[in-house]
A = this chain, B = another copy of it.
Amino acid sequence: MLSQRQDAILREVVRIFTDTGQPVGSKTLMNELPFHVSSATIRNEMAMLEEVGYLEKTHLSSGRIPSAMGYRYYLDHLVQPTSVPQDIAQRIDEDFGKTYHQIGDIIEQSAKILSHLTSYTAITLGPESSSIRLTGFRIVPLNAHQLMAIIVTSDNNVENNIYTVDDDFDTSLIEKIVNIVNDKLVGQPLNKVLQMLHSDVPAILSEYMYSTDGLLDMMDSLFKKAESEKYYVDGQLNLLNYANGDDMSEVQSLFSIINQSNDLRKLLDPSILDDGIKVRLGSELGSDALKNYSIITANYDVGHHGKGVIALLGPTTMHYSQLIGLLGEFRVELAKRLIDYYSRYDDS
C-alpha cells in the first residue's frame, strides 16, 4: 500500500506526463504538488515508487514516467472522473437531435459524437440480447430477374439481400418459399434458423425447385448478416495523430484490428465486461500492435433489449479522468435514447 503522499505524487506524475508527454522530474513535481516538500524528498519517494514498479525512467538520469503497473494502480485507486461540462453535454444533446429510423443509426451516431468530442477513435456496438428471433420475412420482386429478400428480427433490425435469377421467376413459387420460411423459421431464434436452413429446409425446398443452392446461399448470407455483430467505428484517422511515424506496420495492424469485427469482438465482447466503465491497457491486451494504446469501455443497459458497448481507443497517455467522466454520462444518455426509441416503436 502506498502512503497518501506517494499517491499524490503518482497521480501528479500521471497528470503531468499525459499533459506534456515528457518524463517528470523532481523539481517540476515540487512546483506542482499541492503541498510543499523539497525536491530531494520527492526524489526519495520516487525512488520508492520505482522500486515497487509504478514508475520508471527512460534512461538512467531522466525524469520518471508511469509504468504499466503504475497506470493500473492509478486507474484502480487514484483517478478522479471529472463531470461533463455544461456546453459539452449540450452539444451531445444537439448532435443526437434528429429522428432515427433504425437503432443502428443511433449507435452509429454515438460513435461519431464520441470520436469528435474526444479526438480518439470510438467504437460502438448495438444492444445485444441473448436470443434474437426472426420475426419477419418478405420477398419483393423488383423486376423480371431480380428479387429482394428482407428479414426482420426481434431486435428491430432489418436486413436485405438482392437475388438475381437467370430465367423469369414463378410468382407462385415465391409465395411457396415465403410460406415455408414463415412456417418453419419465423419465430425461431436466429442460431436455430441458421441451423435449420442447412438441415430441414433444403429437403423441403427441393420438392418445389430444381436447384436450391443459389437460394440457400443467399438466405444463409442474409441470416448471417442479421446475426453478426455490427461494430461502428468512427475517427479511425485520429489514430494517426498518436502513431509514431517510423513504424507504419504498427499503424497498419492497428487499422486492420479495428476494421475486423472478429478482432473487435475479442476486445469488446460485452459478456466479459463488468458493468460500468473499465480501462484496459495495451500491455494487458496481449496484442503487440496495441501495446502503446489503451481502451476505455463502458457498457450501457437497455433492459430486456440487452446490453451494448461503447469504447474509446487511444494512446496509453489518454486523459482518463475526463474520458471516464464523459463515458459515464454518455452511457446513460445513450441508454435513455434507445429506451425512448424502443418505447415508441417497439411492438414485440
Chain A residues near B (Cβ < 8 Å): 99-102, 135-136, 138, 140, 142-146, 148, 150, 152, 156, 158, 160-164, 166, 214, 218, 237, 240-241, 243-248, 251-252, 255-256, 344-345, 347
Contact = CB atoms under 8 A, between A and B. Distances in A.
9 contacts: A101-B146, A102-B162, A138-B142, A140-B150, A142-B158, A143-B347, A166-B345, A237-B252, A246-B246
Q: Can you tell how many copies of this chain the complex includes?
A: 2
A241 B250 CA distance: 11
Given A99-B214, A162-B158, A243 B248 contact: yes
A150 B138 CA distance: 13
A143 B243 CA distance: 47
A158 B164 contact: no
B240 A248 contact: yes
Given A162-B101, A163-B101, A345-B164, A150 B156 contact: no
A152 B143 contact: yes
A266 to B, nearest CB: 20
A46 to B, nearest CB: 33
Nearest to A345: B145
Nearest to A102: B162
A152 B142 contact: yes
A189 B87 CA distance: 46
Given A100-B164, A158-B162, 5 more contacts: A99-B214, A101-B163, A140-B150, A146-B345, A245-B245
Nearest to A138: B140
Contacts of A246: 245-246
A305 to B, nearest CB: 15
A123 to B, nearest CB: 18
A255 B251 CA distance: 14
